Amino acid sequence: MARKVKETDDLPKAKLNKTSIKNTKRLFSYIGEHKWKLYLGMFFLLLTGGTALLFPMMLGGLVKTIEQKHFDAINKIGLYLLLVLTAQSFFSYFRVYLFVNYTENTLAKLRQAVYSHMITLPMTFFAQKRVGDLNSRMSADIAQIQDTLTTTIAEFLRQFILIIGGIILLLVISPKLTLMMLAIVPVVAVAAVIFGRFIRKTSRAVQEKIAESGTVIEETLQGITNVKAFANEFFENRRYKKSTEEIVNIAIQGGKYRGGFASFIIFCLFGAIVAVIWYGVVLASHDQLLIGDLISFILYSAFVGASFGGIAELYAQIQKAVGAVERVFEILDDVPEVLEINEHRKVVNRIAGNVEFRDVVFTYPSRLEVEVLKGVTIKAEKGETIAVVGPSGSGKSTLVALLLRFYDPQGGKILIDGKDAKEYSLTDLRNNMAIVPQDVLLFGGSIKENIAYGKPDATIEEIAEAARKANALDFIDGFPEKFETLVGERGIKLSGGQRQRIAIARAVLKDPSILILDEATSSLDSESERVVQEALDKLMVGRTSFVIAHRLSTIRKADKIIVIDKGLVRESGTHEELMQQESGLYRSLSRMQTELA
C-alpha cells in the first residue's frame, strides 16, 4: 500500500551553513522562560541513550553466567535489567513530555510573532506574495519545525549517542569483529535508506496521479451540464482512462522497485548479519570471544546499523526544518508599516476631511513599466461628495489605495487638511476613514461581530443603531437568532445586498471623516441597489465621500464628478456641466449606459 503523502513531504531542504545556523539560533530565542525544559529534556535524553546502551552488555552478561557457571548471578542480573528498563521508561516519558512542552510554547510564540508581524506589513508585500504561499509558511513550514523540535532533533541526538557509544563498546568487546562489522553493516544500512527513499518517491508519484484522476472526476461532475450540452462523454471517458493508465504504469514500476528492495533486504542486510555472526563464531571457536560477548556484540551491531540507517533520514528532516525556519524568518525580516496597535481603537486626532491630490504620479512596484497615475490633481472640501468615473484600468481604485496609504505616490502629494498625508500616523489616518467595497468580505462569525469590526468595543445598542441607519435592521430581525446569526464563510449565507448593508453598518459604526465607496452597488440587482443606495445617501451626509462608480446613474447628485482615463483627469464638474460637453468622455459613457439599459 502506498504511503500517504504528508503536507511537509515536498518542502525543500536547506544546507547547513552560517546563515541557517544563525536563523536556528533566532528560533531558539522564542523559548523564553521555557529554556529550562529544553535543558532538562536534553539531560533525560542522555540518560535514555545511556540506559539503552546498557541492555546489550547486561544481556550478554546474563548469557555469560551460564558459560562461566555463575548461576547465582542470574537473578541479580535479571533484576538489574528490570531496573534499567524501568529507569529508561521513566527517562523516556519525561524526555518526550519536556520536548513537547518547550516546543509547543516556543512555536506558539513564533506563530503569534509571525502573524502579528505579517498583518502589519505594507500592501507591496501582499501584492508580491500568494495567499497560498503565506498560508503554507504558517502551516506546513511551522509543522515541519514542530516535528523537528519535538522528535527529530531528540531522535537524531539519541541515534548519534547510540552510534558513538555502540562503536566504543564494540571495540571493547572485539576490535577484530568491530572492524569487519563497520566495513559491512553501515554501508548496507545507508544503501537501504537510499533505496527506500527512492521507493517513497515512486509511491508519491502514484499518489499524485491518483489525485489528478480525482480532479478529472471532480471537474466532470461539477461541470456535468457542460459535458452533456457539448456531448463530450467520450472525451471525458478518454481523459479519465488516460489518467488511470498512468497510475497503473507507475504503480507497476513501483512494484518492481519494491520487489528489488525486498530482495536486497533479505540478501544484503541479513547476509551482513550472518557474516558478522559467522566471524564471531569463528573467533569464539578459537577462544578469542565468549558467546555472551558475541550476543552483546550482535545487539550492539543492530543498534549501530539501525542508527546509521535512521540518522540519514533524520538529517534530511533537519535540513527541511532549516529551510522552513528560513522561509518563516523571511516574513519576520520584511519591514512593517509603522502602526500604533492597541486594544481600544479610539480616534485621537480627528481630521476634518479636506483632501487634495496634487500632481500625483504613481506606478505599482510590481509593474514599474506602467505609470498608472500621471499627475492627477483632485480637490475635495469637507463634506463634499466626489465621484470618480472612467474606463476599466484608468486608475480609479488606485486613488483609493493611495488615499488609504496602502502605497505612497512616487511624485506629487496627497494633502489632508492641508498637511501631507505622510505626516499623519497610519493608525490615525485609517481610523478616520471607512471603505464600503464592491466585493464585501465578511468574516465567518455572527452579524454582530461583523458590524462591530468597525468599532470592536461597541455596545449592542450602538450596533443595532448602526444597522438601522444602514437599512439592515429589518432583515436582521427576520432571522431567528437576529444579531447572533452566523454569516458563514465570507458571508455566503447572506445575499449580496445584505452583505453590502452589513458593510455600511460597519462604516456607520466607525463614524469616519472620509468615506470611500468603491463601486459599492455595481453588482446588485435594482431593488437591492435602491435599498443600499438609500443607506449610502444617509451615511455620506456630513462626510467627505469618494465614490468610485460604474453605474453613472448613482452619482448624479455628486458635488463633483472626476473623469479619469489612462491615468489622467480628462474632465471635472457636476453631472449637468459634464453632460453639456458635446464630445466629452462622461457624456459618451452616460449615453452608452443609457442605450444598454
90-143 per-position pLDDT tens digit: 888 888 888 888 888 888 888 888 888 888 888 778 777 777 777 777 777 788
The DSSP 8-state label assigned to residue 368 in this structure reads T
H-assigned helices in 223-232: 224-229
Which of 181, 162, 362, 350 minimizes the C-alpha distance to 274? 181
Tens of pLDDT, residue by residue over 383-411, are: 888 888 887 778 888 888 888 888 888 88
- Give the span between the Cα atoms of 371 and 393, in whole angstroms: 11
Residues 27 and 160 in one domain: yes
**Lowest mean pLDDT across 80-94, 461-475, 521-535:** 521-535
Banded pLDDT at 427 (limits 50, 70, 90)? confident
Residue 305 domain flag: no
What DSSP character marks residue 486?
B
Q: Does residue 341 contact residue 427 with C-beta atoms inside 8 Å? A: yes
Contact status, residue 344 vs residue 457, Cβ threshold 8 Å? yes
CATH number of the structural domain spanning residue 545: 3.40.50.300
User: Closest by alpha carbon to 545, among 513, 520, 575?
Assistant: 513
Of 393-402, 486-495, 505-514, least confident by mean pLDDT is 486-495
d(CA 207, CA 195): 19
**Domain count for the chain:** 4
What is the predicted pLDDT for the residue at 78?
Answer: 80
489 and 586 belong to one structural domain? no
216 and 166 inside one domain: no
Distance CA 463, CA 367 (A): 41
Q: Does residue 499 share a domain with residue 452? A: yes
pLDDT at 420 over 80: yes
How long is the chain?
A: 597
pLDDT at position 3 is: 42
Exposure letters 267-284 (e unless 16+ CB within 10 A, then b): ebbeebbebbbebbeebb
- So what's the pLDDT on residue 524? 64
Rounded CA separation 410/370 (Å): 13
CB 195 within 8 A of CB 264: yes
Are residues 152 and 243 both part of a single domain?
no
If we measure between CA atoms, which residue out of 570, 586, 564 comes closest to residue 400? 564
Range of the domain at 518: 347-400+410-432+513-597
Tens-digit pLDDT profile for residues 559-583: 888 888 888 888 888 888 888 877 7
At residue 565, the 3 state secondary structure works out as: strand
- Residues 428, 450: one domain? no
Q: Which of 66-75, 146-155, 227-236, 399-408 has the lowest mean pLDDT?
A: 66-75
Q: What is the mean pLDDT of residues 283-292?
A: 78
Nearest to 376 by CA among 364, 397, 361, 389: 361
In this structure, the answer to whether residues 217 and 267 fall within a common structural domain is: yes
Does 311 map to a domain?
no
Last residue within a domain, chosen from 511, 532, 565: 511
Share of the chain above pLDDT 90, in %: 0
Which grid cell is 280? 564471531
Residue 75 lies in a domain: yes
Give the pLDDT of residue 595: 58
pLDDT band with cut points at 50, 70 and 90 for residue 67: low
- Do the beta carbons of residue 102 and residue 37 sit within 8 Å? yes
Q: What percent of the chain has pLDDT over 70?
A: 90
Classify strands 544-548 and 385-389 as parallel, antiparallel or unpaired: parallel
Q: Which helix (H) or strand (E) holds 307?
A: helix 291-333
Is the domain of 187 the same as that of 123?
no
pTM (two decimals) = 0.69
Tell me, yes or no, whether 2 lies in a domain.
no
Q: Is the pLDDT of residue 382 over 80?
A: yes
- Span 240-279, pLDDT tens digits: 888 788 778 777 777 777 777 777 777 776 777 778 778 8
Residues 334 and 382 in one domain: no
The verdict on 527 and 493 lying in the same domain is no
- Three-state secondary-structure class, residue 129: coil
As given in the structure block, the three cell numbers for residue 461 are: 445598542
Report whether 594 contacts 553 (CB < 8 A).
no
Confidence of residue 10 (pLDDT cuts 50, 70, 90): low
Q: What is the CATH number of the domain that holds 100?
A: 1.20.1560.10
**Exposed / middle / buried, residue 24 (Cβ in 10 Å: 0-12, 13-18, 19+):** middle
Whose CA is closest to 317, among 100, 527, 151? 151
Contacts of 433 (CB under 8 A, 6+ apart): 403, 404, 512, 513, 514, 515, 516
Do 193 and 168 share a structural domain? no
In 473-551, which residue ranges form alpha helices assigned H by DSSP?
473-477, 496-510, 526-540
Check pLDDT > 60 for residue 548: yes
Q: Is residue 312 part of a domain?
A: no
Q: Is the confidence at residue 342, as pLDDT, over 70?
A: no
Identify whether 303 is part of a domain: no
pLDDT at 201: 73
Instruction: State residue 2's pLDDT score.
Output: 38
Residues 567 and 482 in one domain: no
Query: What's the pLDDT at 454?
Result: 79
Indicate the average pLDDT of the chain: 79
Contact present, 519 and 406 (Cβ < 8 Å): no
